Structure 1
Amino acid sequence: SIFGKTRCFFAGVLLFGIGSFLCGFSWNLESIIIFRALQGIGGGALIPLSQAILRENFPPNEQAKAMSFFGIGIVLGPGLGPTIGGWITDNINWNWIFFINVPFVIIDLLLIFIFILDKSEKFSKGIKIDYFGLITMAIGLGALQIMLEKGQENNLFSSQFIVNLAIISFISLVLFAIREFTCEKPAVNLKLLKNFGFFNPTVIQGIFGMGLFAGLFLLPILFQESLGYSATEAGIAMIPRSISMAMFMPIAGRLYNRIGGKKMVMFAAALTSLSLVPLSFMSLNTSAWDLFWPQFVQGIAFAFIFVSLSTIALMALERKDIVSGAGLFNLVRVLCGSIGTAVFATQLENNQIINRAYLTEHIVTNSPYTVQGFMTNPATILSPLTTSPAISKFFAGINQVLMIQGASAADLNNKAYAMLSNFVDRQALIMSFNHVFFELCLLFCVAFVLSLFLVERKSSWHKE
């Protein structure tokens, strides 16, 4: 509102580039956190400003099509990023994950200056900045994010540190909400949530944000720790979703004007939920091909949701609220994505511990001492006398293989027990993934129910 959309867009890209460049020179964890924050400040404004600029330059019958082409770039990033990043990590150096952004930023700045930057935009004087709202939001969301990420490491609310973060987050966010609902020029216009036509798609967007970000977090762990892929192979295995999203974005843009956004969102929610069913029944024999189709189907669903949901939400607003609405809409997506990632990461770890204990009980005798011993030091506690006939047969087969490989007789049992322990760990992890993906499946069922109440409205602000 003060400097103009296109100037802020240019500044955001520039700040993101500077942050990327500095991240490449990070010398410790603290420095990379600071420079990543700088990246976030610049990059955080790009998507809502891009959407606002598109909305103001395309009539309603072309907005879905414009969003579909805009979305191709958005979805290719998460797909190609892990692949390129994995290859760079394996073959060059992690610093170049950040340096590689710099030439693209320079090209972006030139294109923005030539085609987008509106030098006729006037500076608006006298507009008050809601510093109190910005500060309370930053403190509240920052404390919440740290609490979610560190909660598992510190045994959640048994840690005074986590309790303090929860109190700080709660108080800050309450003050933030009160301020935004009462301030004449709020930093984040929460009053827009009173509009059900905007509120409902924003909630659905939050659910899809959880699924998208949680998937980007969980799948590399699944590929690398459970299935034994390298970083590069894991990145390649994640490409199918981005490919299908890029393929179906233009199709979704054309379908929007024919069948309407509500039906597209319903279809996307149902399709995503169904695609998560096979991911809820994986085993250690699951191959990359078994995971190809669920990811490909999810990409189709996310293409439909990206084009339709943002169009439905922003068309429900007046012209003056488009920038604020786009910012809030994307804030919910990112915030829910962060919350979802933290929650499902905690679920993954907790379920793995429970599953390992369950599997251990079925490998050894029911003696609590034996079970606990196997969980802490399997090589010294287990013996052939405490195992079932099936496990004894397993050890016999492993010992033969180890002897062929040249292992000494003294090391046979220790190596066999270590292999069994590793197998149990991997099996417990894959079972944990099954639980988490099933929970995500149920979450998208909720999104489907909410999509039944979507309201599509025709906006007239484009005629102004």
Structure 2
Amino acid sequence: MAESALHPAAAETPRNASLTDWIAVAAGSLGALLATLDISITNSALPQIQGQIGATGSEGTWIATGYLMSEIVMIPLAAWLTRVFGLRRFLIGTALMFTLFSMFCGLSSSLGAMIAGRIGQGFAGGAMIPTAQTIVRTRLPTHQLPIGTTLFGMTAILGPLLGPVIGGWLTENIDWRWCFFLNLPISVALITLLLTGLPSERMNLAQFIEADWLGILGLAMGLASLTVVLEEGQREHWFDSVLITWLSLASAIGFLLIAIGQWRARTPILRLQLLGNRSFASVLLIGTAVGAGLYGTAYLVPQFLGILSGYNAEQSGSIMLLSGIPAFIVLPFLPRILGRYDLRYMVGAGLLLYWASCFLDTELTTASVGHDFIGSQLLRGCGQILVMMPLSQLSMRSVEARHAGDAAGLYNMSRNLGGTFGLALLGILMDRRSHFHDSALREGISANSSLAQDQITSWTASYLAQTGDPGTAQLQAFGQLANDIAQQAAVMAYNDAFYALGLAMLACLPLIFLLKKRTAPAGPRP
């Protein structure tokens, strides 16, 4: 008693995380990185994969859709399965499952086998994302949460960025199968960390027997069907397709079952009552918009560079990687920044920077190449850090520790659904705006026919010198004009898409005032 009085500072020093706690956090972060990396690692290798397994371009999209579909279903189930099997047993099981399905994908020689393997991969990977956030929330004391949040948040930023880069490099220099074989040594390291950092827990099979099975069925039906509808709807012409119509109906029935489960189950599989917390609900809304921005720009930039600038996968990946540079620079200082400044204003600043990066990309032309994206990519990287790191911490701070697993599931599900919604809406926008600009340009050319005729005459003379046939030369000139119009229309559609993403970021700004304000410093306190 007397010693405490003589040394009050010692009595007030909060508990620091142990080495075992940090090993657990490292294991969770590595697992989340592995899962987010594999979402996009096959994007660069798709042409080669399709060629070797005999799949068409439209069929090959299921290689990515299968992973995303099962991952989104698993993310909200992770909290319940953790309570049933115990965190250590559950994560080791999913890590082994992820490894086996990765090897299965790497050895696949048919489209059906590849899609089955990707579905299994996504299901296992979906468990690693929210559980990493749960480990951070439950194993670290409050004053060290910013460090754990930084480690977890980096996985959400670097995974989608590194995936296409690593996949492109492996495909160009070794073989596309190594996009999957690479997971074996990483999974061995992950399982070793899990065995070291997490204690063994008893299973609670009563939770399994008494589960909200109606909600689980609805979750699987609703989210899986919705993901496929959003991913494939544009290619299948939406409700002109029987498949999309039936899947939309299945999705509606699934969400109805989830709603019934909320009312009937003692412990619903989705704790939607957490949405009554306006701070947490605001985090989810902003996270959904940021997910759309993250996956949207990760789609638009490589597409522009590949289709209009003639870049290969490795070259496009190097431009995408620029947005990761700010993360590496700020990483050593980020925990201190998160612990010192108001997270709400950090989110606001990040949204503004993300909007500014999109605004810079609204002036693209047919002559734009990789270096034209350097400023916007660096700015985007700064925006991502300032938004995603605080959001990750706020999603945990906004709820009680006992709800950390459920909150992590909802937060990560919202981000992934935001990405899916964003890509679907961008697909619709790009298609419609391309047609709009194409028609407008053709009308403009008709109204200024003298200019068009001069250009056609010039091209015809050039082609005539090459071919010597006047008829062929004139056809080639008209083809050149049509190609130029299509290119200009496509570039204008990309500008519109970046403009829309920027507006989505601005629309989220008022929500920052609903986020939870820090009531006390995040550092040591009595």
Farther off after superposition, 60-69 or 438-447: 60-69
Aligned to 2:389, the other structure's residue is in SS state helix
Q: Aligned pair 1:437/2:519, yes or no?
A: no
Matches within 5 A, 1:310-325: 310-325=392-407
User: Contact 1:48/1:327 (CA < 8 Å) preserved in 2?
Assistant: yes
Deviation at 1:344, TM superposition (A): 1.0
Change in 2 beyond 3 A, CA 1:103/1:412: farther
AA of the residue aligned to 2:169:
W
User: TM-score under structure 2 normalisation?
Assistant: 0.78
SS in 1 for 2:270: coil
Residue number among 470, 477, 489 corresponding to 1:416 in the alignment: 477
Trace 1:218-367 onto structure 2 (pairs within 5 A).
Answer: 218-363=300-445, 365=446
Superposed CA offset, 1:10-50 (max 9, x none): 22222222222111233333322221111111110112111
Whether the 8 Å CA contact 2:85–2:205 is kept in 1: the answer is: no
- Alignment equivalent of 2:117, drawn from 29, 35, 38: 35
Residue of structure 2 equivalent to 1:123: 203
2:513 alignment partner AA = L
Alignment of 1:151-170 (within 5 A): 151-170=233-252
Instruction: Say yes or no: does 1:14 pair with 2:100.
Output: no
Aligned to 1:147: 229
How far has the Cα of 1:302 moved from its partner? 1.0
- The alignment status of 1:82 with 2:143, answered yes or no, reads no
CA distance in 2, matches of 1:405, 1:60: 74
Q: What's the C-alpha RMSD, in Å, of the aligned pairs?
A: 2.4
Cα distance in 2, alignment partners of residues 333 and 248 from structure 1: 23
Verify the 8 A CA contact 1:316 1:458 in the aligned structure 2. no
Structure-2 change in CA distance of 1:353 and 1:407 (3 Å): farther
Q: Which moved more, 1:96-105 or 1:422-431?
A: 96-105
1:453 maps to amino acid: L
Aligned pair partner of 2:453 in 372, 382, 392: 392
Query: How far does residue 441 in structure 1 lie from its aligned partner after superposition?
Result: 0.9
Larger displacement relative to structure 2 (150-159 or 440-449): 150-159
Structure 2 residue corresponding to 1:186, chosen from 258, 265, 268:
268
- Equivalents in 2 of 1:413, 1:99: separation in Å? 53
Q: Could you tell me how far apart the structure 1 residues matched to 2:334 and 2:233 are?
A: 40
Deviation at 1:406, TM superposition (A): 6.1
Instruction: Give the Cα–Cα distance (whole angstroms) in 1 for the partners of residues 459 and 331 of structure 2.
Output: 51
Note the C-alpha offset of 1:74: 3.7
Contact 1:65 1:250 in 2 (8 A): no
Change (3 A) 1:416 1:251: farther
* 2:197 partner letter: I
Of 447, 455, 460, the residue aligned with 2:516 is: 455
Paired with 1:408 and 1:180, the residues of 2 have a C-alpha distance of 74
How many residues were matched structurally? 439
- More deviation, 206-215/193-202: 193-202
Q: Give 1:104's match in structure 2, choosing from 186, 189, 192.
A: 186
Q: Which moved more, 1:396-405 or 1:335-344?
A: 396-405
What's the offset of the Cα at 1:399? 4.0
In structure 2, what residue type is equivalent to 1:241?
A: S
**1: CA distance, partners of 2:94 / 2:387:** 26
Q: Structure 1: where are the runs of 5+ without partners? A: 367-386
- Secondary structure (helix, strand or coil) at the match of 1:421 reads helix
Give the 3-state SS of the residue equivalent to 1:283 in structure 2: coil
Task: Tell me, yes or no, if the aligned pair for 1:86 and 1:235 is still in contact at 8 Å.
Answer: yes
- Matched to 2:104, the amino acid is L
Pair 1:446 & 2:507 matched: yes
Q: Any idea what the Cα deviations from partners look like across 1:192-213, whole Å, max 9, x if unmatched?
A: 1112221111111111111111
What TM-score do the two structures reach when normalised by structure 1? 0.88
Amino acid at match of 2:127: A
State how far apart, in whole Å, the 2-side matches of 1:406 and 1:333 are: 55
TM-superposed CA distance for 1:410, in Å, is: 5.0
Query: Cα deviations across residues 34-83 of structure 1 (Å, max 9, x unaligned)?
Result: 21111111110112111111122222222112211333344222222212
Q: Secondary structure at 2:436's aligned position in 1?
A: helix
Cα distance in 2 for residues equivalent to 1:401 and 1:89:
40
Q: Is the 8 A contact 2:274 2:407 kept in 1?
A: yes
8 Å CA contact retained: 1:7, 1:117: no
Superimposed CA distance per residue, residues 86-142 of structure 1 (whole angstroms, 9 cap, x where no aligned partner): 2333444433322222222222222332x32323x2222321333321221111112
Gaps of 5+ in 2: 1-82
- Rounded to whole Å, the distance in 2 between the matches of 1:101 and 1:396 is 58
Aligned to 1:379: none
Give the letter for the 2:205 counterpart. Answer: K
| Correspondence for 2:486 among 425, 447, 452 | 425
Instruction: Give the C-alpha shift of residue 432 in structure 1.
Output: 0.7
Q: CA deviation at 1:281?
A: 2.1
The offset of 1:269, in angstroms, is 1.1
**Cα pair 1:315 1:458 within 8 Å, conserved:** no
Q: 1:27, 1:458 → 2: CA distance?
A: 57
Shift of 1:314: 0.9
How far off is 1:401 after superposition? Answer: 4.5
Distance in 2 (alpha carbons) for counterparts of 1:139 and 1:457 = 39
Q: 2:280·2:515 contact (CA, 8 Å) conserved in 1?
A: no
Kept in 1, the 8 Å contact 2:168–2:314? The answer is: yes
Report the AA paired with residue 105 of structure 1. S
Shift of 1:151: 2.5
CA–CA distance in structure 2, aligned partners of residues 390 and 28 of structure 1: 53
